[in-house]
């Protein structure tokens, strides 16, 4: 399966449905299933921008940044489109001149579906991405958060993740909202999850 590495808390925002567009400096023609890989860097090192403060810092769906999983696959989504970010999008000049930032379809065939399409990002999407004209907005829909997070080393670009390979589970999601990291037995080194030992349900 194709995968993309995104730093926390942005990866988590996509996983919980608070962010739809991942802005990148490069486009892709790929469409289909995509694994959301949370980079290994701690979100606690991320400078708090006004956008993160408003939409992510106290987001109930996202939860505490302290417990966001890092270094693993946290969700599976569907990459449905890739848009080109521009000033004044669209072919109608009278309308376009009143739109500061938008994203246009990359379909070049005038007779093909989607030619001439564009959209205007919401204030939330603008605050949670880099919408500089000349960049690209990857549209990720139908996201399903994973209850068990396989530890995987991230890569640059769009890369391949073998979901059928043996997976080392480092995090689990309990009650649909609480992330718990694995503990290790100090004597045996065995990995375990405290809620499991206490009779919690996965």
pLDDT of residue 202: 41
CA dist 135 → 28, 101, 106, 130, 162 (Å): 12, 11, 12, 8, 29
- From the CB of residue 189, how many other CB atoms can be counted at a distance below 10 Å? 7
Q: Does 201 or 166 have the greater pLDDT score? A: 166
Mean pLDDT of 146-174: 90
CA 53 – CA 150 distance, rounded (Å): 29
Query: Residue 163, class by beta-carbon neighbours within 10 Å (0-12 exposed, 13-18 middle, 19+ buried)?
Result: middle
Q: How confident is the model at residue 159 (pLDDT cuts 50, 70, 90)?
A: very high
pLDDT of residue 124: 94
pLDDT > 90 in the chain, percent: 52
pLDDT of residue 141: 97
- For the chain, the average pLDDT equals 88
CA 34 – CA 14 distance, rounded (Å): 12
Q: What is the pTM of this model?
A: 0.87
| CA 64 to mean position of chain CA atoms | 17
Q: Express each pLDDT in 8-35 by its tens digit.
A: 999 999 999 999 999 999 999 999 999 9
Mean pLDDT of 146-169: 91
Mean pLDDT of 45-69: 87
Q: How confident is the model at residue 193 (pLDDT cuts 50, 70, 90)?
A: confident
The DSSP bridge pattern shows strands 136-145 and 169-174 to be unpaired
Query: Is the pLDDT assigned to residue 73 strictly greater than 90?
Result: yes
Q: How confident is the model at residue 115 (pLDDT cuts 50, 70, 90)?
A: confident
């Amino acid at each position: 399966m194709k995968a993309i590495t995104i730093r926390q808390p942005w990866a988590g925002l996509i996983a919980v449905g608070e962010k739809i567009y991942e802005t990148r400096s490069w486009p892709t023609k790929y469409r289909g299933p995509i694994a959301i890989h949370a980079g290994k860097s701690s979100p606690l090192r991320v400078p708090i921008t006004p956008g993160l403060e408003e939409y992510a810092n106290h987001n109930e769906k996202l939860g505490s940044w302290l417990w966001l999983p890092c270094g693993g696959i946290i969700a599976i989504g569907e990459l449905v489109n890739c848009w080109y970010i521009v000033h004044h999008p669209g072919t109608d000049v009278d309308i376009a001149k009143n739109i500061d930032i938008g994203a246009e379809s990359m379909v070049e065939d005038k007779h093909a579906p989607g030619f001439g399409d564009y959209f205007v990002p919401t204030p939330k999407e603008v605050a949670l991405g880099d919408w500089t004209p000349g960049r690209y907005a990857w549209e990720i829909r139908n996201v399903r958060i994973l209850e068990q997070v396989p530890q995987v080393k991230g890569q640059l670009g769009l890369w391949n993740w073998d979901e059928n390979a043996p997976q080392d589970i480092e995090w689990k999601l309990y009650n649909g909202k609480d992330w718990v990291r694995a503990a290790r037995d100090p004597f045996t080194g065995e990995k375990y999850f405290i809620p499991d030992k206490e009779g919690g349900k996965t």
